Amino acid sequence: MKKERISNNVIRRLPMYLRKLDDLMAHSVDRISSNELGRLMGFTPSQIRQDFSCFGEFGQQGYGYRVPELREQVARILGMTQGFTAVIVGVGNMGHALVKNFGFDASGIKLTAAFDANPDLIGKEMDGVPIFDAATLPEWFAENPTDIAVLTVPSSIAKNMAKTLADCGVKGIWNFTNVDLELENPEVRVENIHFSDSLLYLGYIISESENEKKAKTR
């Protein structure tokens, strides 16, 4: 693997490649050219070749990419084979929705526990995931070092909880709160979910198509 720093834009595209490759495998497609993959994904073939070349040479001139092998490499690069573990902190509506409907396994991540302060939830299980008292987080982490915390607590306690999790030695926080966590510990990586980015994009493509319709009838 090449040692150069890979650009953020390439990394952000890798999950999209993964989804498309999974889709191709589900349709028993065994090999694909950069032309065809580009057409399916709306990228130029040279963009595709350039993205994959960052990680070494997967394709063969005139043959294309072997889909299962490429999928395996993309998954490996994304850290999906590292056996990362995760806990969910906050079992309100969002935490609930994630435990029940989001396939952590599909991302190669094992969801081991959930935490909440609600006595009605503590001690229960949700889809096989035990719910523990949030106050016991530090003790639990001492026994069960965990890579990722999914933060789905109310905004009002987000910063405090993030600090607790950082102190517990978590490596990454997947932040569903609308709060900028501003952690002092630079070792802890934070990834914010921005729902609005996706909604605004939808708003853009709707207004674009409205404008095109108006232009045609002018």
Q: What are phi and psi of 59, to 5 degrees?
A: -95, 170
154-159 long-range Cβ contacts below 8 angstroms, 24+ apart: 154/90, 154/92, 155/179
CB of 61 to its own copies, least distance (A): 27
Nearer residue to its own copies within complex by CB, 64 or 90 = 90
Closest-CA residue to 134 (of 102, 168, 104): 168
Rounded CA separation 162/156 (Å): 12
Question: Which residues in 23-82 contact its own copies (CB under 8 A)?
Answer: 42, 77-80, 82
Structure tokens at 213: 């319709």
The gap from C-alpha 47 to its chain's centroid, in whole angstroms, comes to: 22
Nearer residue to its own copies within complex by CB, 160 or 196 = 196
Helix pair 8-26, 45-53: axis angle to 10 deg:
110
**Per-residue H/E/C for 123-152:** CCEECCEEEEEHHHHHHHHHHCCCCEEEEC
> Among 39, 108, 129, 163, which residue sits at the site for its own copies (rule: CB under 8 A)?
108
CB of 179 to its own copies, least distance (A): 11
> Among 202, 214, 216, 218, which residue sits at the site for its own copies (rule: CB under 8 A)?
202
19 touches its own copies (CB under 8 A)? yes
> Among 61, 93, 156, 217, which residue sits at the site for its own copies (rule: CB under 8 A)?
93
CB of 12 to its own copies, least distance (A): 6
Nearer residue to its own copies within complex by CB, 59 or 90 = 90
CB of 193 to its own copies, least distance (A): 6
- H/E segment holding residue 192: strand 189-192
Residues forming contacts to its own copies in the complex (CB under 8 A) are: 8-9, 11-12, 14-16, 18-19, 42, 77-80, 82, 84, 92-94, 96-98, 100-104, 106-109, 147-148, 155, 171-172, 174, 178, 187, 189, 191, 193-210
